[in-house]
């Protein structure tokens, strides 16, 4: 590996005397009976962790301090690898499926796909003693099938009350006591008792449940290494507590959940469509799980087993800034067998298993190398200790019950780790600014480079002094990743892609958006740049309302950004900067946004990689404008560099949306922030652990009661579904092919067609309704096929009495968006004269008008002026009055990549309207104005957006379904 020609490494500046002193220094392994001699402490640590795992903490904190001089060593050239090492490239060429692969087993049809399963790790069902069962053997009956056993609650009323008060509304103890007293006062007349006497009774009842009970445990770590004779730092005498729950029990609880039985993968597989194109979705569809199965199956005793991989995630989170910077370090666990959409939904597929310790010291010692070393070693030692209960079953199987009523032999493994870049640096043991996956130099990250591996790293540590490792490889010698304690685990190969911090909050918000502001200031000066930024803010603010769109009434000029804010800005930012920045800046944003939307798909195919490569190449080409203009000194940034690894990572781990840190970020609220707010703030951690235990018990009880059919038939299903919709997404088993109306008619709306024509300003609505009836009743008339004008005299008369509604609900499959676990999304399309008591709102929609044309051109865009329905001869017709838009061109705009449409008008200047069947609506459509060069008036609001411009972009970035549709 290369060195920078312009600067000498520290090792090159050492004297010959230093070299002689170091060569005489050797380190003998402290393990009893081992005579291994290592060249330095880093090598000794690597050897001990790989060969002796009996007492990790003792070895860690009794190591001698590393020698100060560095061993002279000629810096390696910038070649892929020293010493003849052959490393796999970070983005290897895809090896197409080979029918002769000895590991390929049975193939089955799954919808349009052909699925090939691994030949040996097949997830075969077995008995509780481990004997494989013959095909067709029924599952074991559940241990508790009593449909009237509500233990420990006693009744559904008490369970639903406890669940509602403690989990849903998070009611305080005092408020629970007050509510119980109110109940007691109202029920005493009927000689009845309230569900609970007070908050203590409620808490004790929840605590009495054995379902979901996994006790919290802890261990303490204290520095036990060499200490200075004077001025001992306070961190050296402190004890650091780590709280955790047994991950072995947590994983077994997840596998035993009956509501996950159809959402688990039991064996690695490969999916191909009818054209033989590989598909990547869940983690078990990627190459990494298959490779792990290949290694495990080398032992014939493992054949027929189920590979269960553990996904970890951790990230510090701050719960209070003003009152002492209170922060916690939660550790989360999930399993890779769970489908991505289930892991993203809030259904406890991601579980809090620990709170790591956060060593702190005063400013005097915060830069002490020994303190930083201790902090890194404490982190990895804690992770290793927490996971030790899984280690015995990573090479030999254990028999585990599953939620489908069967047992299976299980082999565990360490899977991908979800982390942002600072956490990745800590995990990989690298220097800040380097890539945790490959050996590219920080000053030129995007050059083709070889991937880091555990074996290569260990060899480097054995052979090279720490200074050379730091300078030339970006490796911290005294960090031994926790994965080294477990078989088949390589931290450099297990770092998951992080869409939230690498793409959305990193490259987009922290880099590109900030660079635009810097470019404007550098080009126009601060005064003029402020005026332009104000206009950009007004452009963002006037974006029309749309379902699920987070709006920016004051523009993007606020300080505290969240991931949702960045996602919302991505949807409306592109047209807002047009004509204020050079075209290449807009093209760079367009390419980056397209790349983001490709990698965030729920299913990614080999063909999608071509689109990703094209978008990434354009982004790399056009982003140079920021360097040429002097805005940025470098484009060699770790988070932008991560984009080059995404194709490789998708092939390894499936679609990245199942491993994004947004999953753990959202878990922070439920597992850390809300429990902290419910605590007394004094010694809050213990109270937070209790709260999490009770939440887990309530969730486990709900799953158990539901599996026994005890939560149906009492009339609460609809209300509970509404409560849960905001928590974990709704479930759908079927969906209509078109939007459906709400049953309630709108108040104070027209009741006849003439009144509606006057209300919405569409005088031809009666005539258009008659033409609609002609097309509905005489659909086979050849004149309709060729768009021949139908005389109005031939059209049936329209009924005058109608019912107007303010919205329609469209349900469609959009698994890449926030949706239910079935992949279905509900979207409300509105047409109302008063939206939030501010102004009328009339959304736009896609209407399918010509199926013979390709893609977007098969649909027309229209603005919904009104929804109404009427009854004619016993048939109910659901209609919409629409104002048509026409395409400006059949090609996308070259700069923004979006189609442009413009409203249609008749020769007399009136709007070109029509009455259409709601069955022709595909879904809602969001339009963004083509602003041109004129500034947006300061008094313009979002409600005027669709009435104030001549042309509009079809916003393909409003959500993932629209991106694929438009």
| Burial tier of 54 (Cβ tally within 10 Å: 0-12, 13-18, 19+) | exposed
What is the separation of C-alpha 520 from the centre of its chain, rounded to a whole number of angstroms?
A: 33
Residue 864, classed as helix, strand or coil, is strand
Given a contact cutoff of 8 angstroms between Cβ atoms, the answer to whether 449 and 636 are in contact is: no
Phi, psi of 572 (to 5 degrees): -125, 5
Task: Scan for tokens 């009611």, then name that residue.
Answer: 171
Distance of CA 478 to CAs 63, 145, 345, Å?
A: 10, 55, 39
Q: Select from 594, 586, 601 the least CA-distant residue to 615.
A: 594
Residue 56, CA distances (Å) to 63, 220, 484, 577 in order: 11, 13, 12, 55
H or E segment and range at residue 411: strand 407-418
Would you tell me how many other CB atoms lie within 10 Å of the CB of residue 114? Answer: 17
Other C-beta atoms lying within 10 Å of the C-beta of residue 239: 9
Q: How far is CA 409 from CA 82, 125, 394, in A?
A: 42, 8, 12
What is d(CA 731, CA 725) in angstroms, rounded to the nearest whole number? 9
- Locus of tokens 């919302």: 568
For residues 346-377, one letter each, b for 16 or more C-beta atoms within 10 angstroms of the residue's C-beta and e for the rest, the string is bbbbbbbbbbbbeeebeeeeeeeebbebbbbb
Dihedral (CA of 536, 958, 645, 819) sign: positive
Pairing of strands 306-314, 407-418: parallel
Beta bridge partners, 221, equal 240
pLDDT for the residue 748: 85
Cα separation, 813 vs 736, whole angstroms: 10
Report DSSP state, residue 453: -
| Residue 704 CB neighbours (<10 A) | 20
Q: What share of the chain is helix, strand, coil (3-state, %, to 5)?
A: 40, 20, 40
- Could you give the CA distance from residue 881 to residue 914 in angstroms, rounded to a whole number? 6
Question: How many whole angstroms separate alpha carbon 99 and alpha carbon 280?
Answer: 19
What tokens does 915 get? 């009455």
* CB atoms closer than 10 angstroms to residue 33: 6
Distance between CA atoms of 939 and 97, rounded to whole angstroms?
60
Work out the end-to-end distance of the chain between its first and last CA atoms, rounded to an integer number of angstroms.
46
Asked if residues 934 and 896 have their Cβ atoms less than 8 Å apart, the reply is no
SS3 call for 488: coil
Nearest to 827 by CA among 744, 892, 945, 730: 730
HSE (side-chain half, CA atoms, 13 Å) at 568: 20
Could you tell me if 410 and 306 are in contact, meaning their C-beta atoms sit under 8 angstroms apart? Answer: yes
| pLDDT tens sequence across 717-775 | 555 555 554 333 332 333 334 566 655 678 889 999 999 999 999 999 999 999 999 99
CA distance linking residue 393 with residue 593, whole number of Å: 43
**Of 670, 695, 668, the residue nearest 330 (C-alpha):** 668
Q: How many residues does the chain have?
A: 966
Closest CA to 779 of 921, 917, 918: 917
Question: Which residue ranges in the chain fall short of pLDDT 50?
Answer: 1-25, 53-99, 725-737
CA dist 85 and 74 (Å) reads: 17
- Alpha carbon distance 296, 119 (integer Å): 12
Distance (Å, rounded) from C-alpha 756 to C-alpha 749?
A: 8
Which residues, listed in sequence order, are joined to residue 911 by a DSSP beta bridge? 905
List own/partner pairs for 361-365 with CB under 8 A and 24 or more apart.
Answer: 361/233, 361/234, 361/235, 362/234, 364/233, 365/233, 365/234, 365/235
**Residue 133: exposed, middle, or buried by beta-carbon count in 10 A (0-12, 13-18, 19+)?**
middle
**Strand-pair category, 921-925 with 913-917:** unpaired
The residue behind tokens 């354009």 is: 618
H helix intervals, 297-401:
340-344, 369-386
Identify whether the C-beta of residue 694 lies closer than 8 Å to the C-beta of residue 203: yes
Give residues with Cβ within 8 angstroms of 816, minimum separation 6.
Answer: 600, 601, 602, 657, 960, 961, 964
pLDDT of res. 937: 94
Task: Give the span between the Cα atoms of 381 and 384, in whole angstroms.
Answer: 5
Q: Quote the DSSP letter at residue 752.
A: B
**Can you list the positions of beta strands (E) in 533-672?**
604-605
Residue with the two structure tokens 């369970």: 159
Cβ neighbours around 545 below 10 Å, total: 17
d(CA 52, CA 108) in angstroms, rounded, equals 45
Structure token digits, residue 964: 């694929």
Report in angstroms the alpha-carbon separations of 276 from 37, 268, 613, 630, 929.
54, 18, 21, 47, 42
């Amino acid at each position: 590996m290369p060195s920078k020609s312009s600067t000498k490494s520290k090792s090159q500046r050492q004297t010959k005397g230093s070299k002689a002193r170091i060569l005489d220094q050797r380190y003998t392994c402290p393990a009893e009976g081992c005579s291994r001699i290592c060249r330095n402490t880093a090598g000794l640590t690597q050897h001990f962790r790989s060969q002796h795992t009996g007492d990790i903490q003792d070895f860690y904190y009794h190591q001698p301090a590393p020698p100060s001089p560095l061993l002279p060593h000629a810096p390696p050239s910038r070649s892929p690898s020293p010493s003849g090492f052959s490393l796999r490239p970070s983005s290897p060429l895809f090896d197409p499926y080979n029918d002769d692969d000895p590991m390929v087993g049975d193939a089955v049809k799954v919808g349009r796909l052909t699925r090939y399963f691994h030949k040996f790790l097949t997830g075969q069902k077995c008995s509780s003693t481990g004997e494989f069962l013959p095909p067709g053997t029924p599952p074991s009956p559940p241990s508790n099938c009593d449909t009237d056993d509500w233990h420990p609650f006693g009744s559904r009323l008490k369970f639903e009350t406890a669940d509602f008060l403690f989990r849903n509304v998070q009611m305080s103890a005092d408020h629970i006591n007050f509510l119980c007293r109110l109940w007691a006062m109202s029920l005493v007349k009927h000689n009845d008792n309230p569900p609970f006497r007070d908050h203590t009774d409620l808490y004790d009842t929840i605590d009495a449940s054995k379902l979901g009970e996994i006790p919290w445990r802890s261990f303490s770590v204290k520095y036990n290494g060499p200490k200075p004779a004077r001025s001992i730092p306070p961190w050296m005498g402190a004890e650091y507590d780590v709280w955790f729950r047994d991950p072995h029990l947590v994983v077994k609880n997840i596998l035993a959940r009956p509501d996950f039985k159809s959402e688990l993968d039991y064996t690695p597989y490969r999916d191909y469509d009818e054209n033989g194109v590989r598909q990547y979705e869940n983690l078990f569809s990627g190459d990494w799980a298959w490779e792990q199965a290949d290694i495990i199956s080398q032992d014939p005793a493992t054949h027929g087993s189920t590979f269960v991989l553990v996904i970890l995630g951790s990230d510090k989170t701050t719960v209070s800034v003003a009152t002492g910077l209170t922060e916690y370090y939660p550790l989360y666990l999930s399993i890779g067998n769970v489908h991505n959409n289930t892991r993203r939904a809030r259904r406890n597929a991601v579980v809090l298993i620990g709170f790591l310790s956060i060593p702190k010291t005063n400013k005097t010692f915060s830069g002490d190398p020994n303190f930083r070393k201790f902090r890194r070693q404490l982190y990895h030692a804690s992770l290793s200790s927490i996971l030790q209960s899984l280690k015995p079953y990573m090479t030999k199987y254990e028999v585990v019950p599953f939620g489908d009523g069967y047992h299976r032999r299980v082999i565990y493994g360490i899977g991908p780790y979800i982390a942002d870049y600072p956490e990745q640096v800590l995990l990989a043991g690298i220097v800040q600014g380097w890539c945790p996956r490959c050996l590219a130099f920080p000053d030129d990250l995007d050059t083709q480079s070889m991937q880091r591996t555990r074996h290569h790293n260990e060899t480097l540590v054995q052979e090279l002094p720490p200074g050379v490792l730091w300078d030339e490889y970006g490796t911290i010698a005294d960090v031994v990743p926790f994965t080294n304690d477990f078989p088949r685990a390589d931290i450099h190969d297990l770092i998951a892609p992080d869409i939230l911090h690498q793409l959305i909050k990193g490259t987009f918000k922290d880099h590109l958006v900030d660079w635009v502001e810097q470019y404007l200031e550098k080009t126009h000066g601060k005064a003029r740049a402020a005026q332009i930024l104000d206009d950009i803010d007004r452009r963002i603010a006037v974006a029309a309302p749309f379902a699920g769109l987070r709006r920016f009434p004051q523009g993007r000029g606020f300080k505290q950004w969240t991931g949702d804010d960045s996602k919302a800005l991505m949807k409306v930012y592109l047209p807002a900067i047009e004509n204020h920045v050079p075209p290449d800046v807009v093209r760079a944003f367009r390419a980056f946004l397209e790349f983001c939307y490709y990698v965030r798909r729920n299913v990614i195919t080999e063909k999608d990689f071509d689109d990703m490569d094209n978008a990434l190449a354009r982004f790399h080409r056009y982003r140079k404008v920021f360097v040429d203009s002097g805005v940025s000194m470098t484009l060699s940034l770790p988070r932008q560099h991560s984009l080059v690894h995404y194709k490789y990572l998708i092939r390894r781990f499936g679609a990245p949306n199942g491993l994004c840190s947004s999953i753990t970020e959202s878990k922070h609220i439920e597992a850390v922030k809300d429990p902290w707010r419910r605590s007394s703030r004094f010694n809050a951690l213990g109270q937070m652990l209790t709260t999490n235990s009770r939440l887990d018990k309530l969730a486990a009880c709900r799953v158990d009661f539901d599996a026994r059919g005890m939560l149906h038939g009492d009339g609460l299903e609809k209300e509970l579904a509404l409560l849960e919709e905001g928590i974990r997404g709704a479930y759908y088993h079927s969906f209509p092919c078109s939007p459906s109306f709400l049953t309630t008619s709108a108040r104070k709306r027209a009741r006849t067609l003439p009144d509606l024509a006057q209300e919405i300003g569409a005088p031809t609505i009666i005539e258009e309704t008659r033409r609609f009836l002609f097309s509905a009743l005489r659909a086979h008339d050849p004149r309709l096929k060729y768009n021949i004008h139908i005389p109005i005299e031939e059209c049936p008369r329209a009924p005058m009495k109608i019912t107007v509604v303010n919205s329609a609900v469209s349900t469609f499959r959009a698994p890449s968006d926030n949706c239910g676990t079935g992949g279905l999304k509900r979207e409300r399309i509105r047409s109302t004269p008063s939206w939030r008591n501010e102004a009328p709102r009339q959304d736009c929609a896609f209407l399918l008008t010509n199926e013979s044309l390709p893609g977007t051109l098969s649909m027309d865009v229209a603005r919904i002026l009104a929804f109404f329905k009427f009854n004619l001869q016993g048939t109910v017709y659901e209609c919409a009055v629409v104002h048509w838009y026409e395409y400006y061109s059949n090609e996308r705009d070259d700069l923004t990549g979006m189609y442009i449409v413009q409203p249609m008008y008749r020769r007399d200047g009136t709007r070109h309207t029509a009455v259409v069947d709601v069955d022709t609506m595909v879904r809602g459509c969001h339009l963004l104005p083509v602003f041109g060069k004129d500034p947006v008036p300061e008094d313009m609001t979002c409600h005027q957006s669709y009435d104030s411009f001549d042309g509009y972009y079809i916003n393909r970035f409003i959500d993932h379904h629209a991106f694929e549709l438009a």
